[in-house]
Amino acid sequence: MIRIDSVTKRYPDGTVAVDRLSLEIPDRSVTVLVGPSGCGKTTTLRMINRMVEPTEGTILLDGADTRRQPVTTLRRSMGYVIQNAGLFQHRTIVDNIATVPRMLGWGKQRARERAAELMERVGLDSALAKRYPYQLSGGQQQRVGVARALAADPPVLLMDEPFSAVDPVVRKGLQDELLRIQDELGKTIVFVTHDIDEAIKLGTMVAVLREGGRLAQYAPPAELLSAPADAFVEDFLGADRGIRRLSFFPSAALQLTTGPVIEAGASAERIAAAGTPHLLVTDADRRPLGWAGRDELAAGGTGTGRLLPYGRPFVPGADSLRAALDCAVLSPTGWGVAVDGDGRVTGVVSQQSIGEAIRAAHTESRTDPDTAGAAR
């Protein structure tokens, strides 16, 4: 565990970048530092690997004061990734990734094998190995930066706005990749961003800093959304706090019904027996085709020519209540469509049922904060 204990950084010109900051950064999880520009995020990150020395206070790594160990040993245990990846422009991708293992005295062959393994792990095509950084897209360069930081298998990864220079789609891909890598490798990641949505998506714990390097709140993301400590945090979280919080509630407990689900070609009796004015028509393999009015279906047989779109279905269990609600809100009938992992309909759910599930989830999370799980 990394423990930041009442740390202050005053730069020589008198600027107080970090002011008596205390944080306990748990092992094998992602801790995010978030806050407006100039609030001391980079300074804090660099104090962890001693690129910046604290003016006051101590930083402990597994209980030991980081000042008492050689700075080279410390840095070897901490990979560092920055915006725009900071790659060596005159080295190929494979040599960029192999930099630290080579510095540690690994043979060329072994270091290159390690680099190839890491390229695969971060989702880079091996065909890119011989290219130079300028021949890669911004997103690919960021992946190289992550691979390079992982090369010597350090237990800690420090990441300073690593994904902020790429477009939103690439960024989402990189974030998903990071969560997957974290799941597989169990690194202790300290991640700096000024984007609160990125913080909420990635963080197990999120530290919100304010101007002057003071800690405004340190909490799991679901708690930040439900109970911001003050007006600054609330303002920083922005609009739609309630809706965004629903991403932390699972959709598994939703009451699905199969009454309104019918197969194309179903009998007139079956159509008449459905209790709802709208029916979801599926193919013989139970894949959704679209919605139809019951009376219209009964009158015109089971032609599927004029079906209303069913929107984007959700997967109960895998998707959150937010996804289920979005589904129902987008649906022309107000009903959300639930499918299994293979896209086969398992039932439909009304907005009213989703509303009830939301109320139940809120009540439960008030009595037991642990139920606000990580259904991201």
Ligand X SMILES: Nc1ncnc2c1ncn2[C@@H]1O[C@H](COP(=O)(O)OP(=O)(O)OP(=O)(O)O)[C@@H](O)[C@H]1O
> Which of the listed partners (ligand X, Mg ion, none) does 43 bind, with a CB threshold of 5 to 8 Å by partner kind?
ligand X
Residues that bind ligand X (CB under 6 A): 11, 13, 15, 17, 37-43, 194
Q: How far is the CB of 81 from ligand X (least distance, A)?
A: 14
> Which of the listed partners (Mg ion, ligand X, none) does 88 bind, with a CB threshold of 5 to 8 Å by partner kind?
none
Give the range of 20-28, 42-50, 209-217, 226-234 binding Mg ion by CB under 5 A. 42-50
- C-beta of residue 106 within 8 angstroms of C-beta of residue 117: no
Rule CB under 5 A: is residue 193 a binding residue for Mg ion?
A: no
Rule CB under 5 A: is residue 43 a binding residue for Mg ion?
A: no
Q: Tell me which residue of 7, 10, 46 sits closest to 190, measured CA to CA.
A: 46
Give the range of 39-47, 229-237, 323-331, 339-347 binding Mg ion by CB under 5 A. 39-47
Rule CB under 5 A: is residue 140 a binding residue for Mg ion?
A: no
- Would strands 188-193 and 205-210 be described as parallel, antiparallel, or unpaired? unpaired
Give the range of 34-42, 131-139, 269-277, 286-294 binding Mg ion by CB under 5 A. 34-42
Cβ-based neighbour number of residue 164 at 10 Å:
15
- C-beta of residue 365 within 8 angstroms of C-beta of residue 372: yes
Cβ-based neighbour number of residue 84 at 10 Å:
15
Amino acid at position 217, single letter: Q
The β-bridge partners of 61 are 2, 64
> Which of the listed partners (ligand X, Mg ion, none) does 39 bind, with a CB threshold of 5 to 8 Å by partner kind?
ligand X
Q: Tell me which residue of 8, 1, 5, 21 sits closest to 59, measured CA to CA.
A: 5
Phi-psi region of 87 (alpha: psi -120 to 50; beta: other; left: phi over 0): beta
The β-bridge partners of 81 are 159
Separation between Cα atoms, residue 92 and residue 109, nearest integer Å: 15
Q: How far is the CB of 9 from ligand X (least distance, A)?
A: 8
Separation between Cα atoms, residue 316 and residue 31, nearest integer Å: 28
> Which of the listed partners (ligand X, Mg ion, none) does 111 bind, with a CB threshold of 5 to 8 Å by partner kind?
none
Nearer to ligand X, 43 or 333 (CB): 43
| Residue pointed to by tokens 């994904």 | 163
Whole-angstrom distance between the N-terminal and C-terminal Cα of the chain? 25
Residue 187, classified by CB atoms within 10 Å of its CB into exposed (0-12), middle (13-18) or buried (19+), is buried
> Which of the listed partners (ligand X, Mg ion, none) does 17 bind, with a CB threshold of 5 to 8 Å by partner kind?
ligand X
Rule CB under 5 A: is residue 66 a binding residue for Mg ion?
A: no
| Residue nearest Mg ion by beta-carbon distance | 42
Q: How far is the CB of 344 from ligand X (least distance, A)?
A: 46
Residues within window 282-341 making contact with Mg ion, judged by CB under 5 A: none
Q: How far is the CB of 211 from ligand X (least distance, A)?
A: 8
> Which of the listed partners (Mg ion, ligand X, none) does 183 bind, with a CB threshold of 5 to 8 Å by partner kind?
none
Return the residue of 42, 49, 142, 193 that touches Mg ion, per CB under 5 A: 42
- C-beta of residue 248 within 8 angstroms of C-beta of residue 306: no
Q: How far is the CB of 85 from Mg ion (least distance, A)?
A: 15
For 6, the enclosing helix (H) or strand (E) is strand 2-10
Nearer to ligand X, 10 or 362 (CB): 10
Nearer to Mg ion, 17 or 97 (CB): 17
Nearer to Mg ion, 37 or 367 (CB): 37
**What residue ranges bind Mg ion (CB under 5 A)?**
42
